[in-house]
Structure 1
């Protein structure tokens, strides 16, 4: 199977990638730096991470990387990123196109794929407005309610999951000096998450709490010297949160943080109803931390009291975390079972086997 996997860069991650890849002057070098940093690795299929000659990976929206490839191929002028992506697919003689960035490259893009492509799949685990993905052989995701919404739009939709990154085994094998860590976005739209973080921040007097927050532009403006005199109060973070907030972390830095934390706090946002199991769950459990998350319908292997802990409301989370820390030997056992469960249920080998099965069942588009 000649596999082409396309992904996209998270805007806040781009400065980190540019710094890490400052000396990478070729497409292969910059791509190698990105893959080595492991940002998004739970979504990347085994042949990509193994460096298989039949697998091609790129970030189709990475202007620097894509133009490095185009120049190396002798493509003249300034082609669009879409034109470069199509040229890469044709050059690779792709048979299966798996797209992690389908809103940028929807059905209109699929219609332009070269004839060598036999099967097309996309990953989309979030509401996407009026995006048309009906030309894809299937839309994959791990939230049943969102998959059902894609079916209502005329798409074939199939259950698929992220996987434990084997590199996670390098982290969290020693002491865990951080009591609670949280990594995620923060804006006025995260009202429930904000209340949860405020409750946990109050534990900071007796525990080491680390929040690495990707604040919205309005939040950053509201907390600036100029913003303090503007009517932007609703965009400012509560003082207890702002006092301990650090910049966001990505890739191996995120693995290192979670590997140093006893507890990783997670809070879903209201996009998947009662469905749970976002990327943070896989990253936290994969690095051996105790996942503490909001209650809901979790996938196999994520069970309250056995492999993780859940809370029903923001007002309960501080008490739950305090109990987990007070009886850390028991909590550490839950975290260890969680790591083992994730490795066994969501291994890269199992993920690839499931993907191959989907390709076989979906067949040529």
Structure 2
């Protein structure tokens, strides 16, 4: 099976990648630095991480990476990133195209794929406006309500899950000096999340609470010297949050941070309804922290009071965290059981078998 997997970079992650890969010169070197840092690794299929010669991986929106490949292959002029990606797929003689960035490369792109490609799949676990994915053989995701949305738009949609990254096993086998950590986005669209963070931030008087926030541009503007002269008060973070907020972390730094934390606070946003099981759940449990997340419908292995703890309101989030820290020996047992469950149920081997089965049914 000649597999081609395409991914994408999160804008806030790009500066980190550029720093890590500053001394690289080739396509392969920069790609290997990225893969070693494990950013998004839960979505990367086992042959990618194993370095299988029948598999090709790239970030189609990484201009530095893609233009290196184009130069190395002698592509003339300044081809578009789309043209480079199509050339890579043809050069690899890919039979399977699995795309983690379908909004950038929707059905119109699928129509341009070379004839060697027999099966196309994409991952999309969020609503995407008027984006058209109907040309893909299947849209994959782990939120049933979002899959129903794609079916309503004429797509075939199949349940598929992120996987436990084996690199997580390298982290968190000692002390956990951080009591509570949250890592995620912060903007005016995260109203419920903002209230929860504000309530939990107040625990910082008695506990080591770390909030690593990827603030929106509007939030950063509102908190700037100029922004404080403008009517942008509702976009500023509450004082309790701003006082302890730190920049976002990614890749192995995120694994290290979670591995140093007793509790990972998670909060879904409204797009998935009551469905739960976002990436942070897999990362928190995989690195052995106790996941404290909002109530809803979780996938197998994520069971309230057994492998995770849940809350229904911002106030309850703080209560659950306080109670979990007070009885940490019990909480640590829940976290350990959760780590084992997510490792067993969502291993890379299991993910790859599920993917292969999907390909066989398309």
CA–CA distance in 1 between the matches of 2:173 and 2:252? 15
Question: 1:149-202 deviations in whole A, cap 9, x for unaligned?
Answer: 000000000000000000000001110000000000001111100000011100
Query: After the TM superposition, which residues 109-148 of structure 1 pair with which residues of structure 2 at under 5 Å, given as runs?
Result: 109-148=109-148
Structure 2 residue aligned with 1:240: 240
Structure 2 residue aligned with 1:106: 106
Structure 1 residue aligned with 2:327: 327
CA–CA distance in 1 between the matches of 2:280 and 2:320? 19
Structure 1 residue aligned with 2:21: 21
Structure 2 residue aligned with 1:353: 353
Secondary structure, in 3 states, of the residue corresponding to 1:82? helix
CA–CA distance in 2 between the matches of 1:127 and 1:144? 12
Query: Any unmatched runs of 5+ in structure 1?
Result: none
Measured after TM superposition, the shift of residue 26 of structure 1 is 0.5
Structure 2 residue aligned with 1:38: 38
1:184 and 2:184 equivalent? yes
CA–CA distance in 2 between the matches of 1:136 and 1:289? 37
Question: 1:120-177 deviations in whole A, cap 9, x for unaligned?
Answer: 0000000000000000000000000000000000000000000000000000111000
Query: After the TM superposition, which residues 32-111 of structure 1 pair with which residues of structure 2 at under 5 Å, given as runs?
Result: 32-111=32-111
Structure 2 residue aligned with 1:274: 274
CA–CA distance in 2 between the matches of 1:195 and 1:172? 29
Q: Which aligned runs of 4 or more in structure 1 are off by greater than 4 angstroms?
A: none
Secondary structure, in 3 states, of the residue corresponding to 2:189? coil
CA–CA distance in 2 between the matches of 1:190 and 1:133? 27
1:226 and 2:226 equivalent? yes
Q: How many residues align?
A: 362
Question: 1:266-323 deviations in whole A, cap 9, x for unaligned?
Answer: 0000001000000000000000000000000000000000000000111111111010
Structure 2 residue aligned with 1:149: 149
Query: Any unmatched runs of 5+ in structure 2?
Result: none
Secondary structure, in 3 states, of the residue corresponding to 1:271? helix
Secondary structure, in 3 states, of the residue corresponding to 1:114? coil
Measured after TM superposition, the shift of residue 229 of structure 1 is 1.0
Measured after TM superposition, the shift of residue 225 of structure 1 is 1.0
Secondary structure, in 3 states, of the residue corresponding to 1:195? helix
CA–CA distance in 1 between the matches of 2:31 and 2:80? 19
CA–CA distance in 1 between the matches of 2:163 and 2:156? 22
Indicate the RMSD between aligned Cα atoms, in angstroms. Answer: 0.4
Measured after TM superposition, the shift of residue 115 of structure 1 is 0.4
Measured after TM superposition, the shift of residue 226 of structure 1 is 1.1
Measured after TM superposition, the shift of residue 215 of structure 1 is 0.1
Q: What is the TM-score of this pair, normalised by structure 1?
A: 0.99
CA–CA distance in 1 between the matches of 2:106 and 2:203? 45
Structure 2 residue aligned with 1:199: 199
Query: After the TM superposition, which residues 4-15 of structure 1 pair with which residues of structure 2 at under 5 Å, given as runs?
Result: 4-15=4-15
CA–CA distance in 2 between the matches of 1:279 and 1:176? 21
CA–CA distance in 2 between the matches of 1:19 and 1:249? 14
1:295 and 2:295 equivalent? yes
CA–CA distance in 2 between the matches of 1:107 and 1:227? 41
Measured after TM superposition, the shift of residue 218 of structure 1 is 0.7
